[in-house]
Structures are given as structure tokens and as C-alpha cells.
Amino acid sequence: MSGGLWVDKYRPRSLDKLDHVPQLSQRLKQLAASEDFPHLLFYGPSGAGKKTRIVATMREIYGPGVEKLKIDQRVTTTPSGRKVDVSIVSSNYHLELTPSDVGVFDRVIVQELIKEVAQTQQVDSNAKHKFKVVVLNEADYLSREAQQALRRTMEKYTSNVRIILCANSTSKIIAPIRSRCLLIRVPAPEITEIANTLTKIAKKEAASVQPDYIQRIAEKCGRNLRKAILMLEMGVAEGAQTSQSKDVPFFDWEVFIKATAREIISEQTPQKLLQVRQRLYELLTKCIPAEIILKTLAFELAHMVDGELKPDVIAMAAFAEHRLRQGNKAIFHLEGFVARFMATYKSFLIQVLGV
């Protein structure tokens, strides 16, 4: 196993090899050993290792066969006669899909697949369980209709199917689904745990990186292990081994947003707003999700302004982000946030400092 990104290359494949929260791995082992269990809902912040744990749990249940994957392209017809295609990753024991890929048609796809799986027999007669597993990624983006439709399906087909949902938070999952699942919280790794994992990887890659460099990455990654490993790989590629006091690498888009925040602080005028808007567009066209842009920008600004303004910045951001989720045009809400910030900040300067 060489090549590929380090995040993939060093993904632990069995529950024993998982580094952080050993109690959780222990619990999942117990679960895998039992005859029956409810549907599962894994939740926790991104980069905490939910997916890794799901895969490791399935391996514990069914053995290495779950890693023999094939990818299918499937075409389904909606009741209105529209054709939608989705790609599905599957093994003999499970099937995996990301319903948000198909947008508003998620209900049809999810229903059809689960019913189909429920009606096909397990091909491997030696399989530990009669049931197959359907993994739904990004379950927090499942539409309400799709979630409604899952309710009774989860009850009706339980002898042949178990559903594993993977989500960042439980608040977007409707209560009737939550009450049908075993909820498994996956906390983000601690900073020291991240540092340990990074040290291990650096060693395996024979990259002589300074411990304090690793420590700084661990502190700056927001407890997101995926991000930390990417940062390490980037840093090493940029020659972190040689220089001692090198700054930890940030992603280009992060650097870009930080610079945008400085621009906003430097001047609050319609002209500036126009320039900032250009920069926001640029980020959007690079496929940086709008809510990430908004959040990163908001925290940057909150850190740059005077103490009494900080809560206002967060309030404006919380408002804009909420609107953003409901609306269609991201740029409106991003720009709206910046304009509102500029106005507030400017009047603060005038009032307090008399500038």
C-alpha cells in the first residue's frame, strides 16, 4: 500500500487499530458480536472518524469480504417519469450510497434501494447475519420526505436489512428516525491523540518532522483528524523537514478567507463591498461550501474586533447561515452578512473612537 493520500493510506481498517476513544471500539465490538441490534446512527463532527468506524464495524461483523467493493451506476425512474442516476458502492454484505447526490429525488432512491435489498437473499450462506446493511452517508442532508418515508420502512424490513446512518449532528434527523436507531456518538480526537497519530504517520513515511511542528498542526486543525493529516502531508511536501520554525501550512482557501477578513476590517465602503463580493464569488467557484466560507469568515472577524462586538458578529453570522440553508443563492447571504458587518463595525468606530 503505497501512493494515495495519507488520509486514505493510513486509515485503520479494523476496530483494534483505531487510535482514539478505545471504549467506543470496545462497544462496537460487543455490538458486532451480538445476534441482533437496532439500526445505527453514527454522529459527530467531521473528521472525527465516523466513516472509518462504520467500515471497521462492518468488517468486524462480516469479515474482510466487505472490502471487496464494486461500484454500480443505477438508473431509477421517479413517479413523474424522470430518470435519475446514482452510483452505488456495494459488497456482498452491504450497499452504500450518498442520497444527497440526487437532491430532491432522494426519497425515491432510498425507498427503492432498501426495498430491493430487503427482497434479495443474502448470497453468502455462511454470512454471520441474514440481514444486509445499507449505509446512508450524509444523512443530515436527507430531505424531510425521504426521512418520513424511511420511518415505516425501517420497521417493516428489519429482518433483512439494517440501516446505518452517518451524520454530523442529530438535530437534522427527525425524531421518529432517531427513536428507531442506536445512537453512536463519535467525538473528535483530542489534540494529544491527533499529535500521536501524526507522529506515527511521519515515522512510517520516514519524514523527520519536529515534534513542535506536529504539535502546532494538532492545535490548529480544529480537532479534525482528516484535516490534520492533510496538513502534515502538505507541510512535508513543502519541505517542513528541513526548516525548523516553519509555519504550519493552511489550505489556500483558508489563507484567502483570512485575507478577505483583513480587507473588510481595513475599509467599510460600497466599493470595498464590491471587491469582497468578487472574492466570495471566487471561493464559491472553487467549490468551497458557502456555509464553510461564512463560518470561517465570521470567526476570523470575531477574533479581530473589539470584545463587545464579538457577540454581534456571531449573531449576524448565525442569522445569515440559517438563511443560507433555506435559500437558493448563496452569494446573497454571504454578501448580506458582509454588508451588515461593515455597517455595524463602521458605526461602532464612529461612536467609540470618533473616527
Task: Summarize as ranges the residues that interact with other proteins (CB under 8 A).
Answer: 27, 30-31, 33-39, 43-45, 48, 79, 111, 126-131, 140, 145, 148-153, 155-156, 158-159, 169-172, 175-176, 178-183, 185-188, 222-223, 291, 295, 298, 302, 307, 310-311, 314-315, 317-318, 321-322, 325-326
How many Å from the N-terminal Cα to the C-terminal Cα in the chain? 61
- Nearer to other proteins by Cβ, of 142 and 240: the residue is 142
Beta pairing class for 94-97 and 132-136: parallel
- Nearer to other proteins by Cβ, of 49 and 235: the residue is 49
Q: How far is the CB of 179 from other proteins (least distance, A)?
A: 4
Q: How far is the CB of 267 from other proteins (least distance, A)?
A: 25
Distance between CA 335 and CA 333 in Å, rounded?
5
Distance between CA 183 and CA 41 in Å, rounded?
5
- Nearer to other proteins by Cβ, of 91 and 170: the residue is 170
Sign of the C-alpha dihedral computed for residues 266, 272, 276 and 279 taken in this order:
negative
Q: How far is the CB of 143 from other proteins (least distance, A)?
A: 11
Contact 223, 189 (CB under 8 A): yes
- Nearer to other proteins by Cβ, of 90 and 170: the residue is 170
Q: How far is the CB of 88 from other proteins (least distance, A)?
A: 19
Residue 129 host element (H or E): none
Q: How far is the CB of 248 from other proteins (least distance, A)?
A: 18
Query: Residue 29 burial (CB < 10 Å; 0-12/13-18/19+)?
Result: middle
Residue 234 host element (H or E): helix 225-237
The residues facing 72 across adjacent strands are 88
Q: How far is the CB of 107 from other proteins (least distance, A)?
A: 9
Q: How far is the CB of 200 from other proteins (least distance, A)?
A: 21
Distance between CA 99 and CA 109 in Å, rounded?
7
- Nearer to other proteins by Cβ, of 142 and 198: the residue is 142
Cell of residue 280, nine digits: 466570495
Q: CB-based contacts of 47: which residues, under 8 Å, 6+ apart?
A: 188, 221, 223, 224, 225, 226, 227, 228
- Please name which of 255, 250, 257 lies closest in space to residue 294, comparing C-alpha atoms: 257
- Nearer to other proteins by Cβ, of 7 and 61: the residue is 61
- Nearer to other proteins by Cβ, of 74 and 178: the residue is 178
